[in-house]
Structure 1
Amino acid sequence: MSVSEGLSIGALAKRTGLAVSAIRYYETQGLIAPWRNAGGQRRYQRADLRRLSFVMIAQQLGLSLPEIRDVLAGLPGNRTPTREDWTRISTGLRDRLNRRIETLQRLRDNLDGCIGCGCLSLPNCALYNPADQAASKGPGPRLVLDGADEASGPLV
């Protein structure tokens, strides 16, 4: 098969490790855009290998498919992305990744105690979240999401 013929969906699945159904799903989500050959079969550009690899990595970083689609929209659709293309994208994702790392570190460090849920079910919640003050900061595990930890002490 020549490069100009493109990759079949089976070849793309084999190279990426994705199921054919996952590739079709990503197509419906606008993450890749194959064309059809004269026989009506999907054909993919070699650049789609990198795009799908990025999708898998970005999902591991916690990006949603709409966020991934927005990032991929900044890549050229007609060629393999260059180092400069990827540098631009990675620079844009760096702050988000750093925030996620900080959140995961706080979660790890507080996992054996109160995780900031505001439930008051553990004895030390009364120390770190008196009268459920975390509830005023919004829903969810505010102490973890907002960066409070044992080192910063009670919310008061």
Structure 2
Amino acid sequence: MADYRIADVSLDDRTILWRNADIEQERRVAIFDLLEGNSFRVLTEAAADYPGPYVIFLHVQEGRLAIDVKTEAGDVLDTVIVPLSPFRRTIRDYFAICESYYQAIRERAPHEIETIDMARRGIHNDAAELLQQRLAEKIEVDFDTARRLFTLICVLHIKG
């Protein structure tokens, strides 16, 4: 029986040069939520006969997102490469709005925080839709899975 989901996920910590407590919390929550419920089906020919669940490793390779897809036993099924250039502006905007959001939590009134949070969610939602589109030929993911994966992509781009 098919079990199209991610059973485990890890990030290439060597590419993460810096992260503060807020970003670390975002990473932990994204991974926890991702593993609690996701829809992830690899459509490539190399993984066509494997019904899941998958173990994935996210890393940046030559400026592109690389998703190593493995079986639970650790056998490599495929590496899916996604150009990151369509995400650069969105990632930059997301970092900027997150910084404003974290600052607002510490200094602003609740209605101001809510406004910034709505903007943050909007950018995050747009990024999730873009990720779904970019993965569509190789990996099928639902919206919530795409949102959580985008958070992890952002973590990989933190430069300090």
Verify same fold: TM over 0.5: no
TM-score range, shorter chain: under 0.3
Larger radius of gyration: 1
Higher strand share: 2
TM-score by length of 1: 0.24
